[in-house]
Structure 1
Amino acid sequence: MADENVSAPLDAEAAAKAAFAAVANQGFPSDIFTAPQLRWAVVGCGVIANQMAESLTLAGRHLLGVQNRTRAKAEGFASAHGVERVYDTFADLCADPDVDAVYVTTPHNTHIRYLREALAAGKHVLCEKSITLNSAELDCARALALANNVVLMDATTILHMPLYQVLLARAKAGEFGRMNLAQVNFGSFKPYDPKSRFYNRGLAGGAVLDIGVYALSIMRLFMESAPTEVASLGNTCETGVDVAGGAVCRNPEGQIGVISLTLHSKQPKRAVISFDKCYIEVDQYPRADTARIVWTEDGRVEEVSAGTEAYALCYEMADLERAVAGDAEAARLIDYAADVMSVMDKLRADWGVVYPEEEK
């Protein structure tokens, strides 16, 4: 008989609300924002933008500015979150000399347009996943960042959560032995609506760019190098975007990653990273702050905690500020994003998923 006291994991938005509520009466940690503070503006007023503004409020900080396609929505966002400036156009935002960094939270297919404009204007940029549609766009953005001496950073949470920094440090020190296999799944039930961002080809919908980026990011983090071989099967729907798929990836060191994705079924977001001496289990891995290490020799279970789920977006912004201040390790996070993008390109090519912007 099922245990009636066990609840299924919350969806992403509900989980974020629960995480914020859990820390509402706690003091903000002093070790998150350690670099000189930048003045931030955001483009887009959706779920992520609101979560980011709430995260900053926990830290006692506020955005300087906001721009959105609909000014009324931007004004409502500014009123709700204590944002000082509302811009009519993105060009106005980029022209503001008081803005140091921009957080791009708009749909995937619009990212490169905002990246080009912001980077060319000398703004540092943190961009929501998927950072671009493909590797060609990301290469273009990285070249612009280099040419204008600014930092470009991918906001995929896995790249920034302290839990993974702790686990990676131990792995690189050799404590776990050789990494052999990563098994990662992500299942999300999204009712079919061809106009929704999940299924709309015109909005760069599909499982790979929306949820696959998380699975591939945690896989890549624990691999010694990027995968060079990818074998996969994927299903598409009538709009032409991918809705489910599985892939096996292998790098030159022989390390293997196995991922499964679906927009049609709820699954636990679970990652298992296997080493010679142990395996690591991480549930709800996109913003995880806890993990279990099961040691091979004696079956001992070690609980590891680092960071706090509620501060996920603060960790992203703090990493960009550290990179701007000269932290080379933070600046190199974009390399992981580039490796993940290469795998996503291969998956979409194999499955025949092409977006309108790629047909021009």
Structure 2
Amino acid sequence: MTLPTHRTLDPRDAPVLRWGILGAGGIAATMVTALLDGTSQQVVAVGSRDLERAKGFADRFGIARAHGSYEDLVADPEVDAVYVATPHSEHHANALLVIAAGKHVLVEKAFTRNAAEAREVLAAADAARVTCVEAMWSRFLPSYDVVRRSVEEGLLGELRLIEADHGQRLYPDGPARLARPELAGGALLDLGVYPIHLAAMLMPRIEHVSAVGTLTPLGVDEQESISLRDESGTVAALTACMSASTPTIASIAGTEARLELSGHFYRPSEIRLLDPAGRLLESWQPLEDEARLGLRYEAVEVARLVADGRRESPSLPWAETLRVMELMDRIRGQLGVVLPGEG
């Protein structure tokens, strides 16, 4: 019994797009680093609501043009595709702005605040005939393809249980946006989206969702425990927490074997294949420096889709992005989290 090989293509061999970066925060810097150091893609412009911030970001990375508004960025004729790197609360409006300009768009996870907003963005992309992808980077990593193939090819036997946790001590002393309802803060959209995406990738027909959790004084979710069950009887036990650190590991157990994804399961990480007695059969290791460059895979996926004239990724199709948003809507409903403007 051996682990399958991944089918992920070399990021440096992808067709080249000229990228604009919408937003100049930390995740934008991580993406630009991955593009410049790990691909042949070009980063030609950055846009921020603060021109000086955009200029500072551009100087830091050697980007040719800095724009003082998102409107100017998407109107830049040298930009082919835009990476949206703003808070969750802004994804819907920012993605629609990019699409209206006729540009392809990669939207940072969580895709939007809720499923209704996701439907609007995907409908606009469809009408404009542009490529649109959710930037859930884990889905495009070689490690996730090893996991996907292991389940699809029956290596684990009948899939029974998925366990994944994601806890980081980010509240109350971390990024202020996580505490603010108007910025769609909380653990679920920022952290819980990772274990949910992992489970959804392996459970195509989820029929039961149950969640309990704790809310902050301002009404966003501090933590949650989520149970999922699909039509086959597979169960997922998922947790997310933004006020305490957890092991951030995942286990995918079948009747014949199980996979263990080491700390930070959502990043390029070691995969261990174990038999029912817990004996190690094989392990898989990511390439050196993959964690620093991991965001490159989702970006070059967009580049390949554009070159092929396709609008959605087979690794994360629009229906799957929407399904995950619908799951998170159900979870937030059970937790009692309502964001401003949702009613």
Superposition TM-score, scaled by structure 2 size:
0.90
The offset of 1:304, in angstroms, is 1.3
Are residue 325 (structure 1) and residue 325 (structure 2) matched? no
In structure 2, relative to structure 1, the CA distance for the partners of 1:233 and 1:323 (3 Å cut) is same
- Given candidates 35, 53, 67, the residue that maps to 2:32 is 53
Return closer, same or farther for 1:73/1:250 CA change in 2, 3 Å cut-off: same
Amino acid at match of 1:317: A
CA deviation map 1:250-286 (0-9, x unaligned)? 1122211111111121101111011121111112112
> Which position in structure 2 is the counterpart of 1:11?
none
How far 1:210 sits from its partner (Å)? 0.7
**Residue 336 of structure 1: CA displacement?**
2.8
Residue 5 of structure 2 is matched in structure 1 by none
Sequence identity percentage: 32
Higher alpha-carbon deviation: 103-112 or 258-267? 258-267
Match of 2:12 in 1: 33
Residues 318-358 of structure 1 show CA distances to partners (whole Å, capped at 9, x for unaligned) of: 11112223378834513332222111101111111111131
Determine the structure 2 residue equivalent to 1:216: 196
- The one-letter code of the counterpart of 1:354 is V
| Residue from 300, 312, 331 that aligns with 2:294 | 312
Q: CA RMSD in A?
A: 2.1
Q: Which residue of 1 aligns with 2:127?
A: 147
In structure 1, C-alpha distance between the alignment counterparts of 2:268 and 2:150, rounded to whole Å: 17
Larger mean Cα displacement after TM superposition, 120-129 or 170-179 = 170-179
1:81 corresponds in structure 2 to 61
Q: Distance in 1 between matches of 2:29 and 2:53?
A: 12
Q: 1:310–1:234: structure 2 CA closer, same or farther, 3 Å change rule?
A: same
Q: Distance in 2 between matches of 1:301 and 1:194?
A: 40
Instruction: Supply the AA of the counterpart residue of 1:148.
Output: A
The reply to whether residue 233 of structure 1 matches residue 212 of structure 2 is: yes
Q: Please tell me whether residue 341 in structure 1 is matched to residue 330 in structure 2.
A: no
Please state whether the residue corresponding to 2:206 is helix, strand or coil: coil
SS at 1:198 equivalent:
helix
The residue type equivalent to 2:187 in the other structure is A
- What is the SS of the residue equivalent to 2:179? coil
Does residue 358 of the first structure (1) align with residue 338 of the second (2)? no
52-61 or 270-279, larger mean C-alpha shift = 52-61
Matched-pair contact (CA < 8 Å) for 2:54–2:68: no
Structure 2 counterpart of 1:253, from 214, 232, 239: 232
Q: Is the 8 A contact 1:43 1:67 kept in 2?
A: yes
8 Å CA contact 1:206, 1:242 repeated in 2: yes
What corresponds to 1:270 in structure 2?
A: 249
**Separation of aligned partners in 1, 2:137 and 2:191:** 12
2:136 to 156, 176, 180: 156
Normalized against structure 1, the TM-score is what? 0.86
- How far is the alpha carbon of 1:198 from its aligned partner? 1.3
Displacement over 4 Å in runs of 4+: none
Cα pair 2:139 2:315 within 8 Å, conserved: no
Report the residue type matching 1:337 in the other structure. T
Which residue identity does 1:211 align to in structure 2? L
Q: Whose RCO is larger (CA < 8 A, sep 6+)?
A: 2
Q: Which residue of 2 aligns with 1:100?
A: 80
CA deviations over 1:288-311 (Å, ceiling 9, x no partner): 232111122672331013452222
User: Which of 152, 155, 163 is residue 183 of structure 1 equivalent to?
Assistant: 163
In 2, Cα distance between equivalents of 1:236 and 1:30: 42
Distance in structure 2 (CA, Å) of the matches to 1:233 and 1:41:
40
Mark the CA change 1:169 to 1:320 in structure 2 (over 3 Å): closer, same or farther. same
Counterpart among 143, 149, 159 of residue 169 in structure 1:
149
Bigger CA drift: 120-129 or 295-304? 295-304
Using the TM superposition, name which of 279-288 and 298-307 deviates more: 298-307
Which of 89-98 and 260-269 deviates more? 89-98
How far apart are residue 73 of structure 1 and its match? Answer: 0.6
- Which one-letter code corresponds to 1:87 in the other structure? H
What secondary structure does 1:197 align onto? helix
Deviation per CA, 1:130-185: give whole Å up to 9, x if none. Answer: 11000011111111111111111111121111111122123212222221110111
Task: Figure out how many residues of one structure are paired with residues of the other and give that number.
Answer: 330
| Cα distance, 1:195–1:47 mapped onto 2, change above 3 Å | closer
Q: Which runs of 5+ in 1 are unaligned?
A: 1-28
